[in-house]
Structure 1
């Protein structure tokens, strides 16, 4: 009975994974069909999640994510050890450069931006806190993946061949591994229009003492600025700030 209950709970929580940019709302019937459960079970899942505040009715018999998600995000921000340490350094980078500063992290199988300090002329970003980033494009994902152990990187290589090809990365494992090894040795990465054509970014990893990675620290600027700024100096500032954050977290 306990095993059956755990399985049912797992399926119910999978309801939350059905919501994304393309489908921000679902009917109970759609939820049941997508989870391959009976309609009564689908309605039961929806009711329990609504009672918990994780879903809410939005009209036309459709459901969206509920207000409890907002509350949980508030507590996540307050207890995130990376943000607790990083925000003052991010504000200092913004003050010195005028550019937006962003932290990003690896969560399960996704890269998410977790915080943004806006610069003097804030960039228009399509991605922000909570929206999954493409794994193989942009400065933050590049330095995060470059910090992975070979076995972890190989799993991503084997799992996402189409995304790797779309990003223009080496399609063979030796070339793919060599590409990220070069970023790891450099200690930072400069992206030019990879994620959004009008934007560039300078990113550095925030590493853990055990060899893992907390995430990435990035300065984001308009592409028009990249040819008129001292990129070496900007990269040095980002790497230095990432190192100070690492030291405090350690």
Structure 2
């Protein structure tokens, strides 16, 4: 591998489960000699991508935070979505999320909460499973069958345990039903006390769709008119799609 590949591989070692690693562990995980591994780590620290903690341990550096801020400010999906999300929060008194598919999990790239609600355990950038919740299901329903089959093969046990689908054919059929329906509603799939309704934002045929969803307590979802929420979300998603396409044409 090239030097750049090796240095990027160091960054990918840091996870939610292992946010801090020592230099020897990094070298061992990537099969680097200590002189080589230490040199890579030193360069990453110099560029602010890693920072040294006590006892020779390392974690992400300040430059990562700057990069995340730039990403948030420059992403046109987020820029066009925020005013609409704030309006959705005001109308529904639910929290509102934008969720993206990456590799074999989902991440929320932005959310707006109703009056500082603390319902959401998953915030921006925290990976969450592709097999549970409204946002992942509506994203999967809007992707190609090849991707759907790949995800089912990886997480068939989880989809079966949740009662969503006992086999691949049933999985594909259910996703097709969700796609035709245009939204997915969940109750207690990701967290037992939470429900959600999600619609897709399909802004490009070269990128995975993004989910726009509202999240609230299951108790509240038991009392609402889901059709009204779906209409609000669908209208907002359509507006975001149109704004992104306009921006790309400029």
TM (norm. structure 1) is 0.92
RMSD: 1.7
Equivalent in the alignment of 1:30? 25
- Residue 210 of structure 1 deviates from its aligned partner by 2.7
Structure 2 CA distance, aligned partners of 1:17 and 1:68?
Answer: 15
> What is the aligned counterpart of 2:142 among 122, 147, 150?
147
For the residue of structure 2 that corresponds to 1:120, the secondary structure is helix
Equivalent in the alignment of 1:158? 153
Can you list the C-alpha shifts for 1:92-117, whole angstroms capped at 9, x where unaligned?
10111111111111234432101111
Structure 2 CA distance, aligned partners of 1:75 and 1:196?
Answer: 31
Equivalent in the alignment of 2:53? 58
What residue ranges of structure 1 are gaps of 5+ in the alignment? none
Structure 2 CA distance, aligned partners of 1:77 and 1:220?
Answer: 21
Can you list the C-alpha shifts for 1:144-176, whole angstroms capped at 9, x where unaligned?
111001112122223333443444432422111
- Name the count of aligned residue pairs: 245
The 1:21–1:213 alpha-carbon spacing in structure 2 relative to 1, beyond 3 Å, is closer
Q: Does 2:106 correspond to 1:111? A: yes
Can you list the C-alpha shifts for 1:26-53, whole angstroms capped at 9, x where unaligned?
0000001111221222211211111111
Q: How does 1:232-243 map to 2 (within 5 A)?
A: 232-243=227-238
Structure 2 CA distance, aligned partners of 1:67 and 1:187?
Answer: 41
> What is the aligned counterpart of 1:206 among 197, 201, 224?
201
Structure 2 CA distance, aligned partners of 1:160 and 1:16?
Answer: 26
Structure 2 CA distance, aligned partners of 1:15 and 1:179?
Answer: 39
What residue ranges of structure 2 are gaps of 5+ in the alignment? 246-250
> What is the aligned counterpart of 1:181 among 164, 173, 176?
176
Structure 2 CA distance, aligned partners of 1:128 and 1:92?
Answer: 20
> Could you tell me whether the CA contact under 8 Å between 2:140 and 2:175 is conserved in 1?
yes
TM (norm. structure 2) is 0.92
Can you list the C-alpha shifts for 1:126-155, whole angstroms capped at 9, x where unaligned?
211111110110111110111001112122
The 1:162–1:109 alpha-carbon spacing in structure 2 relative to 1, beyond 3 Å, is same
> What is the aligned counterpart of 1:196 among 170, 181, 191?
191
For the residue of structure 1 that corresponds to 2:214, the secondary structure is strand
> Could you tell me whether the CA contact under 8 Å between 1:140 and 1:204 is conserved in 2?
yes
